[in-house]
Amino acid sequence: MSDAEGPITLREFSEMDVERLKGVGEKKAEALRTVGIDNVLDLLTHYPRRWIDRTNEARIRDLLPGEQALVLVTVQAISGRRTRGRPPKSLVTADVTDGSGHLRVTFFNQAWRERQLSPGTQAALFGKLELFNGRKQMTSPIVDLIGDKTGKVVPIYPQSEKAGLTTSDIGTFVAEVLRRSTVRGILDPVPADVLARFDLVGREAAIRGIHGPDGMDEQDRARERLVFDELLGIQLALVLRKQALEQTARGIRHDVSGELVDRFLGRLPFDLTAGQRDAIAALSADLAGPHPMHRLLQGDVGAGKTVVAVTALLAAVEGGHQGALMAPTEVLAEQHALGVRPLLAGLTVGAGEGAGQLFDQRELAVGLLTNRTTAKERERLLVGLAEGTVDVVIGTHALIEEGIAFRSLGVVVVDEQHRFGVEQRAALRDKGAGGVVPDVLVMTATPIPRTAAMTVYGDLDVTEIKTAPEGRKPITTVWERTRPHADGQLSLAELAVWDHVKREVEAGHQAFVVCPLIEESEKLEVRSAQATFDELDAGPLAGLRLGLLHGRLRPTAKEATMEQFRAARLDVLVATSVIEVGVDVPNATVMVILDADRFGIAQLHQLRGRVGRAQLPSWCYLVAAGQSPDAERRLEALCDPKSGQDGFVLAEVDLEVRGEGTVFATRQKGRNDLKLASLLRDRGVVARAREVAFELVGADPGLARHAELLDEVTLFLDEDEREFLAKS
């Protein structure tokens, strides 16, 4: 690293092979690659996962039994043997000391520890202190080899036992990079006034501080800055992308003054809520404008998003274009069809040119296109879409990917449920006729935490429906704990809920019973639903009128059952999670969800939204053993009388329980991942980074005057994204 040029950029680091570092030969380079480190930038962003604060370390002498502790020790003796039990295990025992006291450490079935921890080795041990025959002991602690580090704070890196890469190797390599960077320094591309406003340390101080802090507060400050950088990078990419879309894509100026939407709204048996009216106004403005809409419609379960989405589809149809409603799965597509078809039934549209005067109006045509659509129907639909005689089509996102030709696709509504990402949405750009980009409305049927939304949907404008239609009563949610069953079978007759179900039915109301989810196999799920139905019909709910609904039924059979339930000719609907969306029976006041711990929080919240739709008090029973702490946390969150109905609170719990990786499952893998930032812990920073990104891009379109920052943003993008931004 010569001092010929200015400070070193991250791009330069990314172009330096790790093999250029002292001590990194072919073998270590290979080992580094196995943990994802190819170049010096990878190395510098391979952040420690813990820091051992030597100024504040625990002493063996002071430890109490049962306490979790981190101790720095030297190995005095170690030996291994096989136990006599069946099957025999290997047992390695080490005696260690930290000068204040002695500790015995045991490992089961980790015979290699004997080689790893030879006498004299220094290691950090993290584990629970036990007393065994009056001696202090730890069983299978987490071990980090730290070498003879002298700093006050020792970073512990994610290492690889298998590849023979220790935390002390990595620390040494990082230290060398930092030493060699002293002369030129490390470039900081973030404007100084931004750093000053948020009281952030400089880039170089942050990189040095995260790897070799003098104290834990220095490490905190370093982390704060690097987290900001990570989130700012993502937000800049999204805001740039948004800007590029807005500037380059040609959209359709939809006619939003027409009467089709009015006719539709006029026929609804209720008035729109203020939130729905505002959302429709925002959509209309987008639709009427020259640029394609890219809007996210967020709102809790039951907020009434469907009506809003349907108005957008109708606006397209009004002007002679078509609308598509896409769901992430076949089942969800079918459910949407069940929900949307009745809303559109009876609406008429202009029949278009060539039609006789007498027949200048025809029924608005809605099609459902999934894998289950018969070949004949499919053929008919494809012709209709190409000719424009099918106005609205509902299906999975295969709709846009399979090269299906539309006469003029005007509006696409995407029901995401977390499952579509930026890439899938990008496919839409190529779908309109003659280079025209259709308007896109993304609905999240399940709220996700705001910070996650900003990160995953940051290229969209956001409309939020904040309030549910009036008169909704909270749904009393009760966890009926079952005992775990040895054979995995739940005995339905044992449950207490059926009395309540019967009482509700006697009072003239209806109930849902949701069958256990079996994700691996629809066939098994159907079989289990049938068994549940039979068991209830013969036992606990004998005498009530039961219906059964599952995914394997023909659409006509499904529709017929639904209709019977709607018309109250059935008392109880036993169903698989098919009823998650689209079932709308205000007279239903109880829901019983069997094996509720198999569902995720979002899904349970969504399911529960099928009751509590009228002014009647309603209940949801979650039947589950709740054997894992995660399941317990989920079920308790839903039952919380204060926050258990608040989708955003639930979404945060969900994020906590499932981990953050899942939020990004739809994002491209690779560099753009969060390494230090946490969407939960750093939620405030997400908002700040977004604000700064809008400011910077707003004042300097395309970041033309912030070349270094722009270069860094593109460094973290994948090929497609880069190309897209470059084109515009």
Question: Which positions touch Mg ion (CB under 5 A)?
Answer: 306
- Whether the CB-CB separation of 256 and 281 falls below 8 Å is answered with no
The least distance separating ligand ADP from the CB of residue 307, rounded to whole angstroms, comes to 5
Q: For ligand ADP, which stretch binds (CB under 6 A), given 210-218, 250-258, 295-303, 421-429?
A: 295-303
Tokens 């098919």 correspond to 578
CB nearer ligand ADP, residue 209 or residue 582: 582
The least distance separating ligand ADP from the CB of residue 621, rounded to whole angstroms, comes to 21
The entry of ligand ADP, Mg ion, none near residue 706 (CB within 5 to 8 angstroms by kind) is: none
Residue nearest to Mg ion (CB): 306
If one asks whether residue 273 binds ligand ADP (CB under 6 A), the answer comes out as: yes
Helix then strand then coil, in percent of the chain rounded to 5, is: 45, 20, 40
The least distance separating ligand ADP from the CB of residue 346, rounded to whole angstroms, comes to 16
Which of 48, 127, 302, 647 binds ligand ADP (CB under 6 A)? It is 302
Q: How far apart are CA 165 and CA 226, in angstroms?
A: 25
If one asks whether residue 516 binds ligand ADP (CB under 6 A), the answer comes out as: no
Which of 153, 240, 301, 441 binds ligand ADP (CB under 6 A)? It is 301
If one asks whether residue 505 binds ligand ADP (CB under 6 A), the answer comes out as: no
Q: For ligand ADP, which stretch binds (CB under 6 A), given 41-49, 302-310, 640-648, 670-678?
A: 302-310
DSSP state of 546: E
The entry of Mg ion, ligand ADP, none near residue 273 (CB within 5 to 8 angstroms by kind) is: ligand ADP
Which helix (DSSP H) or strand (DSSP E) does residue 82 occupy? strand 68-82
Q: How far apart are CA 621 and CA 608, in angstroms?
A: 9
Exposure string for 231-250, b = 16+ CB within 10 A, e = fewer: bbbbbbbbbbbbbbbbeebe
How many positions of this chain bind ligand ADP (CB under 6 A)?
A: 18
Q: Name which of 364, 375, 378, 369 is nearest 400 in CA terms.
A: 369
The two tokens of residue 694 are: 């809008």
Tokens 């002498």 correspond to 61
640-659: which residues touch ligand ADP (CB under 6 A)?
none
145-184: which residues touch ligand ADP (CB under 6 A)?
none
CB nearer ligand ADP, residue 301 or residue 689: 301
The least distance separating ligand ADP from the CB of residue 302, rounded to whole angstroms, comes to 5
The two tokens of residue 682 are: 């750093």
Q: Kindly report the number of other CB atoms within 10 A of residue 513's CB atom.
A: 26
Which of 113, 425, 509, 613 binds ligand ADP (CB under 6 A)? It is 613
If one asks whether residue 579 binds ligand ADP (CB under 6 A), the answer comes out as: no
CB nearer ligand ADP, residue 21 or residue 303: 303
Which of 71, 240, 303, 452 binds ligand ADP (CB under 6 A)? It is 303
The entry of Mg ion, ligand ADP, none near residue 613 (CB within 5 to 8 angstroms by kind) is: ligand ADP
Between the alpha carbon of residue 149 and those of residues 171, 219, 396, the distances in Å are 10, 17, 57
Which of 276, 396, 463, 477 binds ligand ADP (CB under 6 A)? It is 276
Q: How far apart are CA 431 and CA 500, in angstroms?
A: 52
CB nearer Mg ion, residue 440 or residue 703: 440
CB nearer ligand ADP, residue 132 or residue 270: 270
Beta bridge partners of 296: 442, 462
If one asks whether residue 270 binds ligand ADP (CB under 6 A), the answer comes out as: yes
Residues 6+ positions from 163 with CB-CB distance below 8 Å: 30, 31, 34, 35
The least distance separating ligand ADP from the CB of residue 720, rounded to whole angstroms, comes to 31
CB nearer ligand ADP, residue 30 or residue 278: 278
The least distance separating ligand ADP from the CB of residue 613, rounded to whole angstroms, comes to 5
The entry of ligand ADP, Mg ion, none near residue 302 (CB within 5 to 8 angstroms by kind) is: ligand ADP
Q: For ligand ADP, which stretch binds (CB under 6 A), given 113-121, 305-313, 388-396, 597-605?
A: 305-313
327-356: which residues touch ligand ADP (CB under 6 A)?
none
The entry of ligand ADP, Mg ion, none near residue 217 (CB within 5 to 8 angstroms by kind) is: none
Write the interaction track for ligand ADP spanning residues 439-468; mark x where CB under 6 A is met and - where it is not.
Answer: ------x-----------------------
- Whether the CB-CB separation of 463 and 311 falls below 8 Å is answered with no
- Whether the CB-CB separation of 725 and 240 falls below 8 Å is answered with yes
The least distance separating ligand ADP from the CB of residue 575, rounded to whole angstroms, comes to 16
The least distance separating Mg ion from the CB of residue 303, rounded to whole angstroms, comes to 8
Kind of pairing, strands 90-97 and 475-481?
Answer: unpaired
Q: What angle do CA 155, 158, 163 make, to 5 degrees?
A: 125
- Whether the CB-CB separation of 184 and 196 falls below 8 Å is answered with no
Kind of pairing, strands 90-97 and 366-369?
Answer: unpaired
If one asks whether residue 608 binds ligand ADP (CB under 6 A), the answer comes out as: no
Q: Name which of 334, 283, 282 is nearest 313 in CA terms.
A: 283
State CA 441 to chain mean position distance: 19
Contacts 24+ apart (CB under 8 A), 215-223: 215/53, 215/55, 215/152, 215/153, 216/51, 216/53, 216/56, 216/153, 219/51, 219/153, 223/676
3-state secondary structure 467-515: CCCCCCCCEEEEEEECCCCCCCCCCHHHCCHHHHHHHHHHCCCEEEEEC
CB nearer ligand ADP, residue 10 or residue 301: 301
CB nearer ligand ADP, residue 166 or residue 273: 273
The entry of Mg ion, ligand ADP, none near residue 299 (CB within 5 to 8 angstroms by kind) is: ligand ADP
Q: For ligand ADP, which stretch binds (CB under 6 A), given 270-278, 323-331, 621-629, 708-716?
A: 270-278
The least distance separating Mg ion from the CB of residue 335, rounded to whole angstroms, comes to 9
Strands (E), 383-466: 392-396, 409-415, 439-444, 461-465
Q: Name which of 296, 294, 310 is nearest 261 in CA terms.
A: 310
Q: Which residues bind ligand ADP (CB under 6 A)?
A: 270-273, 276, 299, 301-307, 445, 469, 584, 609, 613
